[in-house]
A and B are shown apart, each in its own frame.
Chain A
Amino acid sequence: MNSSVYVREAVTFCSLGNTAAEITQNFHAECPKAFKELRFGSQIISREYREMQEKKVTQTDEFYTILKQLLSELIKTSNLTEEELSQCALLLGSTAMNIPCSESFFREGTDQRMLPYIGYGEIGEQLSMSFGIGGEVSFFTTACTSSANALLYAQRGVASGTFKRAIVVGFEFYNELTMAGFETLGLLSLEGCRPFDANRCGIVLGEGCAAVLIDTVASSYSTQLLLRGGASGCDIASPTSHGIDGSVVAETIKNALSDAKKSLKDVKLIKAHGTGTENNDWAEGKGLEQSFERVPSIVGLKPFLGHTLGGCGAIELSVLWFCMREGFVPKTKGFECIDNRINISPCVEEQEAHEGILLLNHFGFGGSGVVLVAQFQNKADA
Chain B
Amino acid sequence: MKPLYIEAVSLLIQEVSATSTELKKELERTAGQKFRRINHFVLLALTAVFRLPNLSRIDPKCSLYLGTSNGCARDTLHMLEQMYRDTQLPMPFTFMGISTNMAGFHIGQNLRLSGSNLTVSNIYDPFGQALALACMDIEMEKVSSALVGCVDEGVFPLDEFKRVTHKSKNDCLLEGGGWLKLSLACVNPLAVIIARESFKTLAAVEDYCAQQALNEPLTVIRNRDSGYVGASGGIDFVQALLTQRSGIIALISQTGLMHFSVTLTRILG
A residues with a Cβ closer than 8 A to B are 39-41, 43, 86, 89-90, 95, 99, 102-103, 106-107, 109, 114-122, 124-125, 128-129, 132-143, 149, 153, 156-157, 159-160, 162, 176-177, 180-181, 183-185, 231-236, 239-240, 248, 251, 259, 364-368
| Selected interface stretch from B6-14, B108-116, B187-195, B238-246 | B108-116
Chain B: interface residue total (CB-CB under 8 A): 63
B70 touches A119 (CB 8 A): yes
Cα separation A117 to B72 with both chains bound (whole Å): 11
A366 touches B160 (CB 8 A): no
A141 touches B71 (CB 8 A): yes
Beyond A43-B89, A90-B256, A134-B257, 9 additional pairs, beta carbon < 8 A: A102-B80, A106-B84, A118-B155, A125-B123, A128-B256, A137-B255, A138-B255, A141-B99, A248-B114
B165 touches A119 (CB 8 A): yes
Chain A residue numbers with a CB within 8 Å of B79 are 177, 181
How distant is A356 from chain B, measured CB to nearest CB, in Å? Answer: 25
Chain A residue numbers with a CB within 8 Å of B133 are 138, 153
Which residue of A115, A141, A259 is within 8 Å of B73 (Cβ)? A115
How distant is A370 from chain B, measured CB to nearest CB, in Å? Answer: 9
Chain A residue numbers with a CB within 8 Å of B155 are 115, 118
Q: Give a binary string over B94-115; 1 marks a CB under 8 Å from any A CB, 0 the rest.
A: 0110011110111011001111
How distant is A335 from chain B, measured CB to nearest CB, in Å? Answer: 28
With A106-B84, A136-B129, A366-B102 as contacts: A184 and B115 at CB distance below 8 Å? no
- Residue B83 at the A interface, CB < 8 A? yes
With A239-B96, A259-B142 as contacts: A138 and B101 at CB distance below 8 Å? no
B123 touches A365 (CB 8 A): no
A132 touches B92 (CB 8 A): no
User: Which B residues, 42 to 87, have Cβ-Cβ distances below 8 Å to chain A?
Assistant: 64, 69-71, 73, 76-77, 79-81, 83-85, 87
A134 touches B142 (CB 8 A): no
B108 touches A234 (CB 8 A): yes
Cα separation A302 to B142 with both chains bound (whole Å): 31
With A107-B84, A114-B164 as contacts: A234 and B122 at CB distance below 8 Å? no
How distant is A322 from chain B, measured CB to nearest CB, in Å? Answer: 28
Which residue of B64, B102, B136 is within 8 Å of A156 (Cβ)? B136
Chain B residue numbers with a CB within 8 Å of A117 are 73, 76
- Residue B263 at the A interface, CB < 8 A? no
Chain B residue numbers with a CB within 8 Å of A149 are 118
Top 5 closest pairs, chain A to chain B, by CB: A121-B123, A134-B258, A181-B95, A234-B117, A232-B116
Cα separation A95 to B98 with both chains bound (whole Å): 10
B residues with a Cβ closer than 8 A to A are 64, 69-71, 73, 76-77, 79-81, 83-85, 87-92, 95-96, 99-102, 104-106, 108-109, 112-124, 126, 129, 132-133, 136-137, 139-140, 142, 155, 160-161, 164-165, 200, 255-259
Cα separation A95 to B72 with both chains bound (whole Å): 12
How distant is B257 from chain A, measured CB to nearest CB, in Å? Answer: 5
Minimal Cβ-Cβ distance residue in B for A106: B84
A106 touches B80 (CB 8 A): yes
How distant is A364 from chain B, measured CB to nearest CB, in Å? Answer: 8
Chain B residue numbers with a CB within 8 Å of A235 are 114
Interface core residue of B106, B117, B119 (most chain A CB under 10 Å): B117
Chain B residue numbers with a CB within 8 Å of A136 are 122, 129, 132, 255-256, 259
How distant is A21 from chain B, measured CB to nearest CB, in Å? Answer: 33
Instruction: Tell me the dominant secondary structure on chain A's binding face.
Output: mixed
A141 touches B101 (CB 8 A): yes
Which residue of A41, A86, A140, A143 is within 8 Å of B99 (Cβ)? A143
Cα separation A128 to B40 with both chains bound (whole Å): 32
Chain B residue numbers with a CB within 8 Å of A41 are 87
Which residue of B69, B83, B104, B161 is within 8 Å of A177 (Cβ)? B83
With A90-B256, A118-B155, A118-B165 as contacts: A234 and B136 at CB distance below 8 Å? no
Which residue of A103, A120, A183 is within 8 Å of B89 (Cβ)? A183
Minimal Cβ-Cβ distance residue in A for B105: A366
A232 touches B118 (CB 8 A): yes
With A121-B121, A177-B79 as contacts: A142 and B101 at CB distance below 8 Å? yes
Minimal Cβ-Cβ distance residue in A for B255: A136
How distant is A333 from chain B, measured CB to nearest CB, in Å? Answer: 28
Chain A residue numbers with a CB within 8 Å of B113 are 234, 236
Cα separation A134 to B200 with both chains bound (whole Å): 8
Could you give 20 example pairs across A and B, Cβ below 8 Å?
A86-B258, A95-B99, A99-B80, A115-B164, A117-B73, A117-B76, A121-B122, A121-B124, A141-B71, A142-B117, A153-B136, A177-B83, A184-B91, A234-B115, A235-B114, A236-B105, A239-B105, A365-B101, A366-B117, A367-B105
With A233-B114, A368-B101 as contacts: A132 and B257 at CB distance below 8 Å? yes
